[in-house]
Structure 1
């Protein structure tokens, strides 16, 4: 069995169909084992013998849409991929805080690569630390006190499309602990 983390896009905890117990039920109904959830923002862990990650993502997304009306997106990474990211310590010496967020944006398209240079209007709010090839993730430090921070996600969508999802490094670490 392989342990996976599924990062669901577009989850709004105030929507009754997007609550953790319903999300877990969809995963269990698909035959996955050891299904768990973390926080209320679409972080699901599970076990499966399936090794075809794009097939898993498609199966899960179809089920979420059919059963709960969730059209967002599903991005999966294995425990080993996430452990490798943690071992590389991408945020060494940096701290997540109220004004500064350490973020990981997972990209579905494995061929996409690094995002390229930041637009000038974002350089005061965002610092791209790099692109982690193994987890297909953009690593960034976000200045939450800068009003242009919201434009960071919009820019990433122009680069990668909507098949991305962002989590704080704290959330990624919590999910890893649950794997």
Structure 2
């Protein structure tokens, strides 16, 4: 059994309203088990009992096929163009433990940006030297981009404006470290 987290992008904002019970039902209808939603920002934990693809020498889930299947179901059910980033629970744990900044930095927000396109993360990481370190910092991690920003600056920060560009919309989503810890708390193992 493999445990996954689907991080949905753009729900319960801008007129796209998705009830968490309906979201969980969609994952159950797809045949996934142990489905749990965490917060109303589109975080779904679920398990797959058997692999979708047999690839010698081991069985493994084809993550791209899994992502496409979930996005299609969400688009059909909730009538919006769904985008998700898919992370296995084991990787999520490693990502959170590797947070390179002080997660308890008073007056700062701690974030992790996920992407289904690693090239976009690399491109965004290229802006690190342009940022005012007294307001925010970013660092490329393994499959993610870590970001800390002063609360007083928030979404007005230079990096926030760069990462909000339309070209990143369907491949990236950001979660605060607190949310990721909540996800790990309800993930067995």
- What TM-score do the two structures reach when normalised by structure 1? 0.84
Unaligned 5+ segments in structure 1 are none
Q: Provide the rounded CA distance (Å) in 2 between the counterparts of 1:8 and 1:61.
A: 9
Could you tell me which of 94, 104, 107 is aligned with 2:112? 104
Unaligned 5+ segments in structure 2 are 53-60
Q: Which residue of 1 aligns with 2:103?
A: 94
The alpha-carbon distance between structure 1 residues 124 and 42, as it changes in their structure 2 partners (threshold 3 A), is same
Aligned ranges for residues 138-157 of structure 1 at < 5 Å? 138-146=145-153, 149=156, 151-157=158-164
Q: Which residue of 1 aligns with 2:70?
A: 60
The alpha-carbon distance between structure 1 residues 147 and 112, as it changes in their structure 2 partners (threshold 3 A), is closer
- What TM-score do the two structures reach when normalised by structure 2? 0.80
Mean Cα deviation higher: 45-54 or 113-122: 113-122
Q: Provide the rounded CA distance (Å) in 2 between the counterparts of 1:80 and 1:29.
A: 24
The alpha-carbon distance between structure 1 residues 73 and 151, as it changes in their structure 2 partners (threshold 3 A), is farther
Secondary structure of the residue aligned to 2:118 is coil
Q: Provide the rounded CA distance (Å) in 2 between the counterparts of 1:29 and 1:6.
A: 15
Q: Which residue of 1 aligns with 2:56?
A: none
Q: CA deviation at 1:137?
A: 0.9
Q: Which residue of 1 aligns with 2:173?
A: 165
Asked whether the equivalents of residues 37 and 44 of structure 1 are also in contact (C-alpha less than 8 Å), the reply is yes
For 1:106-151, what per-residue CA distance to the aligned partner results, in whole angstroms no more than 9, with x for missing partners?
Answer: 01113445321247466553211x2112xx1110101120266355
Give aligned pairs, total.
174
Q: Provide the rounded CA distance (Å) in 1 between the counterparts of 2:154 and 2:87.
A: 31
Q: Which residue of 2 aligns with 1:36?
A: 36
**How big is the alpha-carbon RMSD for the aligned residues of Structure 1 and Structure 2?**
2.6
